[in-house]
Structure 1
Amino acid sequence: MNAQPGIFVSIASYRDAELLPTLHNMLEKASGLSALNITVCWQDDGDISLFQQAGFTLCEKTKSGEHDLFIFAHQGNRLQILCIDYFLSEGACWARSLCEKLYQQEDYCLQIDSHCRFIDGWDIEMISLLQQMKQHSAKPIISSYPPGYQPGKEDEKAEYVSRLVLRGFSSEKILQLTSVDFQSNAPVRGSYLAGGFIFAEARFLREVPNDPLIFFEGEEIAMAVRAFTHGYDIWHPHKILLWHFYGRENHARIWSDHNDEAEKAGSISCVWWERDRLSKKRVKVLLGIEKEACDPGHWGLGNERSLGEFEYAAGISFQHCIALPEVMGKDRIAWFPGPPKEGWQSRLTATSNKTVTIARQELGCDFDELAWLHVGIYSSNNDLLQKKTLFQAEIDRALALEGGEEMSVTLSFTTSFTLQPWVIRISPYLHSAGWGNVVERSW
C-alpha cells in the first residue's frame, strides 16, 4: 500500500482570532487520506493554552532558532506552533519564511492565510488538480484569490472562481493585482499568484522560498516573477477549493501596532513603514525598476526563464509601468503564450490618471462668466494626448461639489508609452470675451 501523501501547510498568523476556526475547519474538511504537517508562525501574546483548550494535544516544547516551538497532535496530524511576541514580528513574508524552516520532507506545500474555510476533501482535490496540470506543465502551481466568506455567516459563502489580472501600478511603481471571475471546465493559465493561496510540489519551498525582507506590498509580484524564472507555471483553479475572509475591519494589523508610540516605548525596533520602504526598494531592484548592486541570495531570479520573458507573458513593462491594451481592456488578458513576438513592446500603452483642481482666482475670471472650459494634456513635443471640455451643467456640478470656490476635473486616458503626459493647459471660454487666459501646469 502506498504511504499517505504529505502536505506541509504554512500559515502566517498575526493576532488573528480566525486562526483556531481555520485550523479546525481545515482538519475537519480534510479527507484523512493525506498526512498534514501544519506550521503556524503565531505572532500573538504567547498564551499557548488556547490551543490545548481548543482540543490539540501538546506533545513537545522545543526551540526553532531563538523562538519557542510547540508541537501538537490532532487526529493523526501534526501542528507546529512557532510562538513569537507580536511586537517582534517583521512582516508576512518573514513569518512565512520562518514556517518554511520547519518543513519535514512532505510531498506538497500549501501556503495560506490564517482566515480561511475549506471544501470537503480539499487536500485530495488540490493534489488531484495539481497532478492534472502536470500533463501541461513540468512545474505547475495552483493559486488564486479564493472567494470570500464572513465569520458567523458560513452558509453565505461566495460561489465564484477568479483569476488574477493587472490592476495597475502604484505611485511607487509596484505592480498591483485584482481578480476577475471566470467560468471554465479546466484551470486557466495565468501570470500572477496570490500569497494567501499557493499549492505546489514541495520542491517549490526550496527553489522559491519566501523572502523574509519583503514586508507586504510587492510580495505577490516578486514571488510570481521568481517562480516563473525558476520554471514554474501558474494555474488558476476552475473550482472552489477554499474561501478567504476579506476586509477584516477592526482586526489587528501590524501597521496599527508597529507605530511611533510603540517605537518610543521600546516595544519595537523599527516602525512598519521603515520596513515597508526597504522592502519596496528590494522588490524594485528584483524587477529591474531600480539598479543596485546586491546579492539577493536564495531570493533572486531563477535561470530557467528571464525577466523579459515574464514581461512578455504578462504583457507588461515593469520599468515603464505600462501594459498591452488587451491587458487593461475588457478581456483582461493576463498570460500570452509562446515566445515573445517581434515588436510587441511597441504596442504597450500607459494609463494615466489625475484629478486637476482649478481655483477661481487661478482663471482670472468669475466662474459665472464661463461658457465652457477646455482641459488639454500634451506631451513634451506638444502632441495632444487627451482633452476634456466641460460645459455649463458640468461646471455647475463640479462647483457644487467644492463649495463654489474651485472645481475638480478627473482625467483618465491611455497612450503609447512613447508619448508621456508633460503639461496640462486649462483654457476658459467666456460668454462675453471669447477665449480667456490659458493656465498651464506641469503634469
Structure 2
Amino acid sequence: MDDSIFIQIASYRDVQLVPTLVDLIQKSTRPEMLRIVVCWQHARQETLAEFWRRGFSSWRFETPGDWQIHSMNHGGATLELIDVPHLKSQGVCWARNLIQQQYKGERYTLQLDSHHRFVLGWDRLLIDMLNSLRTESPNPILTTYLPPFDPENDPDARKTVPTIMRFYRFDEAGAVICRSGPVPNFEKCERPVPARFYSAHFAFADGHFVEEIPHDPSFFFHGEEISIAARAFTRGYDLYHPHRLVAWHEYKRKNCPKMWNDHTPEAKERGEIPQDWIALNDRANQRNRALLGMNVNIEAETELGKYDLGSVRTLAQYERYAGVSFAYRGVQRCLLDEEVPPLPTTSPVDSEADWKASLLRSHDVRVCVYLPSLDQNEPKSNALGIPQSTAAARATVCDKSDTALNSKTLDAEALAKQVRGNWLDFRLIFEGPLEKIPAYYVLELLDAEGKVLTRTKSQVPNLP
C-alpha cells in the first residue's frame, strides 16, 4: 500500500493557518502523498489572498453539497478548503466531522489544529513509528500534546523534547483536562510510549480511524478528547505518545478570535447565529456525560448512535487502563505518579468495591470573589481593588463538617496575577479521599504580619 496521508485541519479565523500549511508541506519528505482538507471557518475580510501570496496555485472550486470547496496545490501537495462563514460554524467537532466526510481511503490520517510547526521529515518519522508498533498492536494511534512554539519568537522559543499527556483535572462538567510534559528518559526510548489519553490537535493513525471513530458533530470543544480516547479504546485501538520530536503547537494564541468571542448570546439576540456557544457547549457536556456513564438522569435518554462506545473493550476496562473513574470523579495514584499504563486487556475488571478503594477524588474548586464586595472600611488599592495593606491571600476549602480539605496561600505578586477586572479568580486543583466533598471555601486577605484584613465565605457548587 502507498504512504498517502489524509490530513485533517479545523481552522477558525486563524492567522497561522497558511504558515502552518506551508511548513507542513515544505518539511514533508513526499508532499505529493499529502491530501490536506481544511474546514476554513473565516470572516468575510479573511480571504484567499494570503494563499496566493504564499504560493498556492491551480485554484478551482466546486459546490458538491452545502459548502463550496476550493482546491489548490502547493509543492506537490493537494489542499482542499471547505469554505464555511464563521458565523455558520457549530464548533470544532462539527468542523472535524465535516472534514472527515471528505476521506477517500488514504493509507494514513493525521489530525491537526491550524497552528503548528514541523520537523524535517515528519511524515516518514510518523510512518516509521506507527509501523514499529504493529507487533504489539493491530490498531495503534500516535497522539500527544505537542511541545510549544511562539510565532513571535520562532524558532528560538521552541522546546526540543518530545512530550506526553499528564492528567490535570476534571472540569466542571466532568471532562478530563490534561497538560503536556516531557517524555521521561526519551533518549533511551526505542519506540513510542503507551498513553492513557488522546489529543485532538495531534493524532496519527491508519486511515480507517476516520471512518471507525468519526468526531461527534454535536460536541463543541471540551469533552472532545476524552470521548475519542474512550471510544477508540473500546473499539480496540491503542494509544501511544511519540518518543521522537515531530512538531510544535501554539498554545497561547494571543489576540486570536475564538468561536466563543463571536458566537455570543448577544450575537444570537441580533439574529446572527441560531445558537450561542454556551448552548452548544451545554449540549456537548450532556452527550459526553451520557457516553461516559456519569449519573445525571436526563442523559439516560441521550441517543449517541455511531458516536457511542465500541464493543471490543468496555468503558470499565478503559477506566482501569487510564486510571480514572468518571462516575466517581476519581483518579488512581499511579496516574498522578505518571506510571506507564498497564497493557490493554479484555479480561474482567476488579470488583466495584476494590475499584473505589483505589481512587482519590479529583477536585477543581474555582475561587471567584467580587472585589468591590470586600470590607469597605479598608482603603482599597487603585490598581487591584483590594485592601492596600494586603500582603497575601489564603484560600481554604472545607467539607460540610468544616474539615479543611485543601489550603493555598498566594503572596502579593501571585495574587496580583489572579485579578481579572473586578474579580479575584483562580482555581484550587487537588486530590483527596473519595468521600470528602468540598462544601465551601473561605478566602482571607492577610497583611504582612499574617493578620486577617477581610474574610469571605462562598459555597462550592455541587459538582458531577
TM-score, normalisation: structure 2: 0.78
Residues 1:283 and 2:288 aligned together: yes
> Quick one: which of 171, 191, 194 aligns to 1:189?
194
Displacement, 1:297?
1.8
Aligned in 2, Cα 1:419/1:376: closer, same or farther, shift over 3 Å? closer
Query: Counterparts of 2:458 and 2:37 in 1: how far apart (Å)?
Result: 55
Displacement, 1:334?
6.5
Aligned in 2, Cα 1:111/1:353: closer, same or farther, shift over 3 Å? closer
Contact 2:230 2:315 in 1 (8 A): yes
- Whichever of the two has the greater Rg, that structure is 1
Displacement, 1:249?
1.0
Q: Which secondary structure state, in structure 2, belongs to the residue aligned with residue 99 of structure 1?
A: helix
How many residues matched? Answer: 403
Aligned in 2, Cα 1:347/1:154: closer, same or farther, shift over 3 Å? same
How do residues 141-152 of structure 1 correspond to structure 2 at under 5 angstroms? 141-152=141-152
Displacement, 1:326?
2.8
How do residues 282-321 of structure 1 correspond to structure 2 at under 5 angstroms? 282-289=287-294, 290=296, 291-321=299-329
Contact 1:67 1:84 in 2 (8 A): yes
Displacement, 1:180?
2.2
Aligned in 2, Cα 1:415/1:297: closer, same or farther, shift over 3 Å? same
Displacement, 1:419?
4.4
Q: Which secondary structure state, in structure 2, belongs to the residue aligned with residue 222 of structure 1?
A: helix
Find the counterpart in structure 2 of residue 206 from structure 1: 211
Find the counterpart in structure 2 of residue 79 from structure 1: 79
Aligned in 2, Cα 1:334/1:176: closer, same or farther, shift over 3 Å? farther
Displacement, 1:318?
0.2
Residues 1:177 and 2:182 aligned together: no
Query: Counterparts of 2:93 and 2:364 in 1: how far apart (Å)?
Result: 31
Find the counterpart in structure 2 of residue 364 from structure 1: none
Aligned in 2, Cα 1:442/1:63: closer, same or farther, shift over 3 Å? closer
Query: Counterparts of 1:376 and 1:73 in 2: how far apart (Å)?
Result: 57
Q: Which amino acid aligns with 2:334?
A: E
Aligned in 2, Cα 1:321/1:63: closer, same or farther, shift over 3 Å? same
Aligned in 2, Cα 1:411/1:30: closer, same or farther, shift over 3 Å? closer
Residues 1:14 and 2:12 aligned together: yes
Displacement, 1:71?
1.2
Q: Which amino acid aligns with 1:74?
A: H
Find the counterpart in structure 1 of residue 51 from structure 2: 51
Q: Which amino acid aligns with 2:232?
A: A
Query: Counterparts of 2:397 and 2:285 in 1: how far apart (Å)?
Result: 34
Query: Counterparts of 1:356 and 1:247 in 2: how far apart (Å)?
Result: 23
Query: Counterparts of 2:255 and 2:303 in 1: how far apart (Å)?
Result: 39
Contact 1:72 1:79 in 2 (8 A): yes
Contact 2:25 2:31 in 1 (8 A): no
> Quick one: which of 409, 412, 416 aligns to 2:433?
416
Query: Counterparts of 2:154 and 2:324 in 1: how far apart (Å)?
Result: 38
Displacement, 1:416?
3.0
Aligned in 2, Cα 1:228/1:265: closer, same or farther, shift over 3 Å? same
Query: Counterparts of 2:340 and 2:218 in 1: how far apart (Å)?
Result: 27
How do residues 26-425 of structure 1 correspond to structure 2 at under 5 angstroms? 26-32=24-30, 35-45=33-43, 47-156=47-156, 157-182=158-183, 183-184=185-186, 185=189, 186-289=191-294, 290=296, 291-328=299-336, 331-333=337-339, 335-337=341-343, 338=345, 339=347, 340-342=349-351, 343-352=354-363, 377=398, 386=404, 414-420=431-437
Displacement, 1:378?
5.4
Aligned in 2, Cα 1:266/1:387: closer, same or farther, shift over 3 Å? closer
Displacement, 1:69?
0.5
Contact 2:2 2:107 in 1 (8 A): no
Q: Which amino acid aligns with 1:57?
A: S
Contact 2:330 2:362 in 1 (8 A): yes
Contact 2:8 2:112 in 1 (8 A): yes
Find the counterpart in structure 2 of residue 367 from structure 1: none
Displacement, 1:159?
1.0
CA RMSD in angstroms, aligned pairs only = 3.4
Displacement, 1:192?
0.4
Query: Counterparts of 2:168 and 2:174 in 1: how far apart (Å)?
Result: 12
Query: Counterparts of 1:161 and 1:36 in 2: how far apart (Å)?
Result: 24
Contact 1:5 1:34 in 2 (8 A): no
Q: Which secondary structure state, in structure 1, belongs to the residue aligned with residue 166 of structure 2?
A: strand
Contact 1:56 1:74 in 2 (8 A): yes
Query: Counterparts of 1:273 and 1:158 in 2: how far apart (Å)?
Result: 35
Query: Counterparts of 2:91 and 2:131 in 1: how far apart (Å)?
Result: 32
Query: Counterparts of 2:194 and 2:457 in 1: how far apart (Å)?
Result: 46
Query: Counterparts of 2:397 and 2:196 in 1: how far apart (Å)?
Result: 36
Contact 1:34 1:123 in 2 (8 A): no
Aligned in 2, Cα 1:284/1:64: closer, same or farther, shift over 3 Å? farther
TM-score, normalisation: structure 1: 0.81
Query: Counterparts of 2:68 and 2:332 in 1: how far apart (Å)?
Result: 49
Where structure 1 has 5 or more consecutive residues not aligned to the other structure, the ranges are 361-372, 402-407, 427-438
Find the counterpart in structure 1 of residue 388 from structure 2: none
